């Protein structure tokens, strides 16, 4: 039996002619489109998000451009992408309106990848390309930071903002600071006001590097740094068995096979005319251009991220492994739905919050995504402050009562921070996600007599009162810390499942 060929332009042409693949293929015309986008980052998220949106627009004839990706991490993904002529397969799998769905598409929007470390001159050559109109990035949450040691003449500058500043300076000089050659910058890093913060750093580097005054003026007038909100689960890898099954059906091997869910949302902050300038947004209802993305950010953070955070400790204490396991467990699943719909959603003042919540729980139950609960506990305490505490405060402001389900999740968080699950993982040689902000909570357990109801109550009240952790004194919310104590005592004495049974028999709070 002949070995399967590796994905390439030649393979796409052959499969298209023979009509022998289950994957949607790009046309030859799509693969000949001009490069119009430079992308900093080559990871799975961008492949399943930015590349997908551009590919979709190209298939509709609404953008007619391709992406050149800049790799900075030395991951060798640039080599893998170039070996496949920039092509890769996106496996879009999940549940839509209650029914499983699978779609396989060869993404043709990426033309090539360049290594910033090894081909910086080639990156600067892209800056001089008049067809480039858009910059996209995803360099992780810590990528948008000022590196005071960065240098203009480094080959390349160390940080992403440093690389972008040098890239923009090269472009401005090449076109004699013509404002018509400006760019739109869409950072996809998961931080609030990502575009604003990136713009501030670029301007600060220009000042520190003593760049031409005309450049700083050009940045102000010709470069649009947009705040964005991105939402799509892109786990990236699939199991070896799944990869083999897909390769057999598609008729080729793909070293960059990327998995994602069907749901996708890109919210971009800017004037309405920005949609026309972006072009790829077109009529795609999943791309929202608005003067204020804050309602969409709040909806995502409070409902999707908040549900993840309030679920993680409860489900881990129940012995569950994945988000889907938790959603399908009778008691944990009922608990999650009660917390989301009774206590979180009513306090979210944003578009279609209830509809979004139903979509979120459907996404959590995706049979194709293995989302480990332990991974959700990375920076667990910070996430509790940012994602859950606002819902606790909002509920109290609306009702003057404590949200019982969120209080249960807070009590489970306290028990989780006691550290038994983490110690068990370390014994097995498994990784324990970092949570340095929670060290104080873990330390509070030291020396506590867990047989003493009074000692446990004092611990709970003390942690709830810690303004430095939560940004507010949770004991000031009528009855909240008392409800946390009640739940914590049950969890410690009888286990989380017995405590859940007791909680779920109580009337729901609304």
Cβ count within 10 A of residue 375: 13
Distances in whole angstroms, Cα of residue 39 to Cα of each of 157, 343, 439: 16, 40, 37
- Judged against a pLDDT cut of 80, whether residue 71 lies above it is answered with yes
Distances in whole angstroms, Cα of residue 98 to Cα of each of 180, 325, 340: 48, 17, 19
| Full strand arrangement of the beta sheet holding 258-260 | 99-107, 88-96, 258-260
Yes or no: say if 135 and 184 are a contact pair by the CB < 8 Å rule: yes
399-439 confidence digits (pLDDT tens): 999 999 999 999 999 999 999 999 999 999 999 999 999 99
- Judged against a pLDDT cut of 70, whether residue 250 lies above it is answered with yes
- Judged against a pLDDT cut of 70, whether residue 339 lies above it is answered with yes
pTM: 0.86
* Pairing state between β 228-231 and 265-269: antiparallel
The whole-number average pLDDT for the span 392-404 is 97
Of 301, 297, 333, nearest in space to 315 by CA: 333
Task: Report the run of H or E that residue 377 belongs to, with start and end.
Answer: none
Instruction: Note the Cα 225 to chain centre separation in Å.
Output: 19
Kindly state the percentage of the chain with pLDDT values over 90: 84
The whole-number average pLDDT for the span 465-482 is 97
Sequence-distant (≥ 6) Cβ neighbours of residue 153 within 8 angstroms: none
- Judged against a pLDDT cut of 50, whether residue 134 lies above it is answered with yes
Token pair belonging to 251:
């008729």
1: pLDDT confidence band, cut at 50, 70 and 90? very low
Give residue 461's pLDDT: 97
Give residue 96's pLDDT: 81
Give residue 273's pLDDT: 86
Give residue 199's pLDDT: 98
User: Residue 137 in 3-state DSSP?
Assistant: strand
The whole-number average pLDDT for the span 440-461 is 96
Rg of the Cα trace of the chain?
25
User: Residue 457 in 3-state DSSP?
Assistant: helix
Give residue 140's pLDDT: 67
Distance separating alpha carbons of residues 369 and 356, to the nearest angstrom: 19
Yes or no: say if 287 and 205 are a contact pair by the CB < 8 Å rule: no
- Judged against a pLDDT cut of 90, whether residue 51 lies above it is answered with yes
Return left, alpha or beta for 151; rule: phi > 0 is left, psi -120 to 50 is alpha, else beta.
Answer: beta
The whole-number average pLDDT for the span 16-28 is 87
Peptide bond before residue 156 is cis, with ω within 30 degrees of 0: yes
Task: Report the run of H or E that residue 364 belongs to, with start and end.
Answer: helix 353-364
Cα torsion at 388, 390, 396, 397 (round to 10°)? Answer: -160
Give residue 54's pLDDT: 97
The whole-number average pLDDT for the span 218-241 is 91
The whole-number average pLDDT for the span 249-278 is 91
Yes or no: say if 335 and 504 are a contact pair by the CB < 8 Å rule: yes
Distance separating alpha carbons of residues 228 and 185, to the nearest angstrom: 10
Kindly state the percentage of the chain with pLDDT values over 70: 98
Give residue 458's pLDDT: 97
Q: Is 147 exposed, middle or buried (0-12, 13-18, 19+ CB in 10 A)?
A: middle
Signed CA dihedral, 384, 385, 389, 391: sign only: negative
The whole-number average pLDDT for the span 293-315 is 95
Cβ count within 10 A of residue 9: 15
Distance separating alpha carbons of residues 132 and 126, to the nearest angstrom: 8
Q: What is the DSSP string of 146-198?
A: --TT--TTSSS-SSHHHHHHHHHHHHHHHTTT-GGG--EEEE--SSTTHHHHH
Distance separating alpha carbons of residues 11 and 31, to the nearest angstrom: 13
Give residue 510's pLDDT: 63
2: pLDDT confidence band, cut at 50, 70 and 90? low
- Judged against a pLDDT cut of 80, whether residue 21 lies above it is answered with no
Lowest mean pLDDT among 93-97, 403-407, 410-414, 495-499: 93-97
Give residue 74's pLDDT: 66
The whole-number average pLDDT for the span 240-265 is 90
How much is the mean pLDDT over the chain? 94
Residue keyed to tokens 């944003």: 350
Residue keyed to tokens 């968080």: 413
């Amino acid at each position: 039996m002949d070995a399967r060929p590796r994905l390439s332009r030649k393979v796409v042409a052959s499969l298209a002619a023979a009509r022998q693949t289950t994957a949607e293929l790009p046309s030859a015309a799509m693969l000949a489109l001009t490069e119009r986008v430079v992308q900093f980052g080559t990871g799975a998220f961008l492949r399943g998000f930015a590349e997908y949106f551009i590919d979709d627009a190209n298939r509709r004839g609404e953008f007619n451009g391709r992406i050149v990706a800049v790799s900075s991490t030395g991951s060798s993904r640039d080599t893998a992408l170039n070996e496949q002529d920039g092509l890769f397969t996106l496996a879009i799998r999940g549940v839509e309106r209650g029914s499983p769905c699978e779609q396989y598409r060869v993404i043709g929007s990426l033309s090539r990848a360049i290594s910033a470390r090894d081909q910086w001159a080639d990156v600067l050559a892209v800056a001089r390309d008049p067809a480039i109109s858009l910059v996209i990035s995803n360099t992780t949450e810590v990528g948008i930071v000022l590196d005071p040691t960065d240098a203009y003449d480094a080959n390349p500058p160390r940080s992403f903002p440093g690389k972008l500043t040098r890239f923009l300076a090269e472009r401005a000089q090449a076109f004699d600071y013509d404002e018509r050659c400006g760019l739109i910058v869409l950072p996809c890093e998961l931080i609030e006001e990502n575009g604003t913060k990136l713009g501030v750093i670029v301007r600060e580097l220009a000042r520190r590097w003593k760049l031409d005054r005309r450049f700083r003026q050009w940045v102000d007038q010709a470069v649009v740094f947009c705040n964005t909100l991105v939402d799509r689960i892109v786990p990236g890898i699939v199991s070896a068995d799944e990869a083999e099954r897909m390769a057999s059906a598609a008729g080729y091997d793909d070293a960059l096979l990327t998995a994602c869910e069907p749901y996708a949302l890109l919210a971009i902050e800017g004037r309405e005319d920005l949609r026309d300038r972006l072009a790829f947004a077109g009529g795609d209802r999943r791309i929202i251009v608005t003067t204020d993305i804050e309602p969409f950010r709040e909806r995502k953070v409070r409902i999707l991220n908040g549900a993840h955070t309030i679920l993680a400790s409860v489900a881990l204490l129940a012995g569950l492994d994945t988000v889907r396991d938790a959603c399908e467990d009778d008691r944990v699943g009922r608990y999650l739905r009660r917390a989301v719909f009774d206590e979180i959603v009513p306090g979210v003042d944003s578009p279609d919050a209830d509809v979004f919540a139903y979509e979120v729980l459907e996404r959590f139950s995706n049979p194709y995504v293995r989302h480990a609960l332990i991974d959700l506990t990375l920076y667990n305490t910070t996430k509790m402050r940012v994602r859950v505490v606002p819902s606790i405060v909002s509920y109290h402001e609306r009702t003057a009562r404590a949200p019982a389900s969120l209080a249960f999740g807070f009590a489970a968080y306290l028990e989780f921070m006691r550290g038994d699950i983490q110690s068990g993982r370390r014994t097995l040689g498994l990784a324990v996600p970092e949570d340095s902000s929670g060290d104080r909570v873990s330390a509070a357990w030291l020396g506590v007599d867990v047989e003493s109801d009074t000692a446990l109550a004092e611990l709970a009240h003390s942690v709830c009162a810690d303004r430095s952790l939560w940004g507010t004194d949770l004991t000031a919310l009528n009855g909240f810390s008392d409800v946390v104590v009640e739940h914590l005592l049950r969890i410690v004495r009888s286990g989380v499942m017995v405590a859940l049974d007791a909680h779920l028999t109580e009337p729901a709070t609304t």
